[in-house]
Amino acid sequence: MGSHPVEPDAGSGAAVDFTEVQQTEQFKELRKRHRSFVFPMAVFFLLWYFAYVLLADYAHEFMATPVFGNINVGIILGLLQFVSTFAITMWYVSYANRRLDPIAANLRHELEEAAPEVFVDPSGGKK
Amino acid sequence: MSTITAGGIHVPLQTAEVTTVGSPVLNIAIFGLFVAITLVIVLRASRNNKTAADYYAAGRSFTGGQNGTAIAGDYLSAASFLGIVGAIAINGYDGFLYSIGFLVAWLVALLLVAELLRNTGKFTMADVLSFRLKQRPVRIAAAITTLAVCFFYLLAQMAGAGGLVSLLLGINDRLGQSIVITVVGVLMIMYVLIGGMKGTTWVQIIKACLLIAGAFIMTIWVLALHGFNLSTLLGAAIETSGNAAITSPGLQYGLTSITRLDFLSLALALVLGTAALPHVLMRFYTVPTAKEARRSVVWAIWLIGAFYLFTLILGYGASALIGSERILGAPGGVNSAAPLLAYELGGSILLGLISAVAFATILAVVAGLTITAAASFAHDIYASVIRKDRVDPDGEVKVARRTVVVIGLVSIAGGIGAQGQNVAFLVALAFAVAASANLPTILYSLFWKRFNTQGAIWSMYGGLGSAILLIALSPVVSGGEKSMIQGADFSVFPLSNPGIVSIPLAFFLGWLGTVLSRTTEDPMKQAEMEVRSLTGVGAEKATDH
């Protein structure tokens, strides 16, 4: 077990019916909001990354096209990978702060109030 | 990535004409200062190491910013620094491609893994993977893949230390290098043994600050010499190298259709491997909440992204100011680009600082890997499987500490044994194993309700086995000019990175194993995991000190 003296398994599943929580509208909404952001975003950045990799791998001449001075398409697309990574990071953080954290905190408090004996112990009765 | 290898030893040493640049004594002195300062900090940090949560997870007391910096310290290995700067200096654009894969990969961790993992686990990756599946078999499999990834990564770092020694300290004989590897290993054992995760984290934070600050100063310097104009810098690099192709892709990977496919395979392993590296995952347990885990990744992305932008400038700067001939002629070959650039810019003092940072880098990465492997053995195999949870936490930590010593000794021996070997593939293999053995099971168990034990077992062992088998049958092991085993040829698999086969295979096996299994897992457990992962209810909290 873990960080605390050996204890009988708290068996949180017995005290809290997680399947019931899973069926609540609030939880379904949280799951929907989470997945509807992270899945499309993951698909998008992977497609964009592999499009870039394939261009760098198979379209050397296109990547070598000069844009201004000695800076070519390849350098710009490469730097855009950095820009998009930073942008998605900031976008996700702002989305999570606004749309995910409030519901998650709300659900967490409700559960902790409903079954303090399960969740107050920091070891959380895993298993 | 890891061109920091035998490069330094294979390249004929022309030390007769090329006197070692800088002063080895100064390099050692600055490194000694780093060791002294970090040891004091580790000793101070160790005073609060009481429980297993303290030892493995630093009492979950680090902030997101601190942990993000430590993640950057853990992730930016000597390979990243010396290897990528050198690769850009010699091969131009193709070196840049590595850094993009290493950075974009963090979005997988940010969006899909970090927070959910923090909410459902305790100390190790296996905690999450075995949460709703059968404990014993899944835990054993996850511990085996963890140990495999850590072992390959450790060996590469330790052997890389040998190459670094010849480059920075002017020690070229085998005995001298073995002594330095032993010193590095013993120091690492001390850090991890005494400081636990807290000490390890502080070493990584200090190292990350030094590395990024050093790279930043050199970057500004290089840019100042070229009027803060990227185009001018690229022009100077083209002029020195006499090859306009260094600003566009293809010099390294564009040679044949096989090298192109190999690059694709590498790109896949890089982008999917990072979020499944056990030593990176374990860092998420050192913060008190999922929100702090998110903050850690955000910090890590900014620091790592900035650092890779610096390496782009430094690589082309080395190409422009030093030129590939002098770089390849120096002891250390490709890996000497960054140290030579430091010497060109700031003389022996800057070179000494950069060399010390490179050493500190190896120390910090090795320490992070060791504590991960030790935690996995003590927590997943010893406490959960051998003793079936009937062991008190003190006993578990005692086993973890002993494991640290064993792993330290093994990696010293392995590092000495692997000297002069082409070990670049070990890091690539670590990423490929992580991406194929760990990532499918992590994602399936977090997001696929039906996923079951058989799917996890098939995916983990299938991914691990296929990655290792394909590497064994690849040109890195036999049949090539730089192969490990000379004079034999059983390289039936043409690519040096197995990712393009083993990663899809592991995803497929996870699906197949699940649908072919007649047993279904406990739906209560699935509900519990899903609710916990998204809300953080009942997640491990920080211990008070």
**Can you tell me the ipTM of this complex?**
0.90
pLDDT at B2: 36
Phi, psi (rounded to 5 degrees) for B388: 50, 50
User: B111, B133, B233, B286: which to substitute to probe chain A, counting the most A Cβ within 10 Å?
Assistant: B111
**Which of B229, B294, B537 lies nearest to residue A108, judging by beta carbons?**
B537
Show me where the domains of chain A are located: 26-113
If we measure between CA atoms, which residue out of B284, B278, B4, B2 comes closest to residue B150? B278
The answer to whether residue B343 neighbours chain A at the CB level (below 8 Å) is: no
Neighboring chain B residues of A49 at a CB cutoff of 8 Å: 100-101, 104, 267, 271
| Mean pLDDT score of chain B | 86
Out of B249, B390, B537, whose CB is closest to A111? B537
Return the DSSP state at A72.
E
**Per-residue model confidence (pLDDT) at position B16:** 34
pLDDT at B12: 34
Each residue of A30-82: pLDDT tens digit? 999 999 999 999 999 999 999 999 999 999 999 999 998 899 999 999 999 99
pLDDT at B423: 59
How is residue B386 written in tokens?
């051998």
Decide if pLDDT at B263 tops 70: yes
pLDDT at residue B146 above 90? yes
**CB nearest A89 (choices: B101, B235, B301):** B301
pLDDT of residue B95: 86
State the smallest CA–CA distance between residue A52 and chain B in angstroms.
10
Whether A74 sits inside 8 A of B309 (CB atoms) is no
Which residues of chain A neighbour B540 with C-beta distances below 8 Å? 2-3, 122-124
Residue B533 structure tokens? 């992962």
Q: Which of B341, B342, B352 lies closest to B25 in space, CA to CA?
A: B352
**B347 part of contact set with chain A, CB < 8 Å:** no
B287-318 per-position pLDDT tens digit: 999 999 999 999 999 999 999 999 999 999 99
- Token match 């559960």: residue? A111
Residue B66 pLDDT exceeds 90: yes
Q: Which of B528, B530, B533, B544 to mutate to test the interface with A (most CBs of A within 10 A)?
A: B528
Q: With CB atoms and an 8 Å threshold, state whether B96 touches A78.
A: yes
Contacts of B53 in chain A (CB under 8 A): 2-3
The yes-or-no verdict on residue B3 having pLDDT over 50 is no
Cβ neighbours of B447 in A, within 8 Å:
35
CB contact under 8 A, A19 and B260: no
pLDDT at res. B545: 52
Confidence of residue A4 (pLDDT cuts 50, 70, 90): very low
- pTM attached to this predicted model: 0.90
Choose the most confident range, by mean pLDDT, from A1-15, B34-48, B456-470: B456-470
Tokens 């020694």 sit at which residue? B165
Count other Cβ atoms within 10 Å, centred on residue B176: 15
Determine the pLDDT at residue B428. Answer: 73
Residue recorded with tokens 């499987």? B385
Determine what percent of chain A is predicted with pLDDT higher than 70.
81
- pLDDT, residue B421, reads 63
Contacts of B263 in chain A (CB under 8 A): 53, 57
Read off the pLDDT of residues B163-217 as tens digits, 9 standing for 90 and up: 777 677 777 777 888 888 888 889 888 888 888 899 899 989 999 999 999 999 9
Segment B515-522 mean pLDDT: 88
Rg value, chain B, Cα? 23
Grouping H, G, I as helix, E, B as strand and the rest as coil, residue B484 is coil
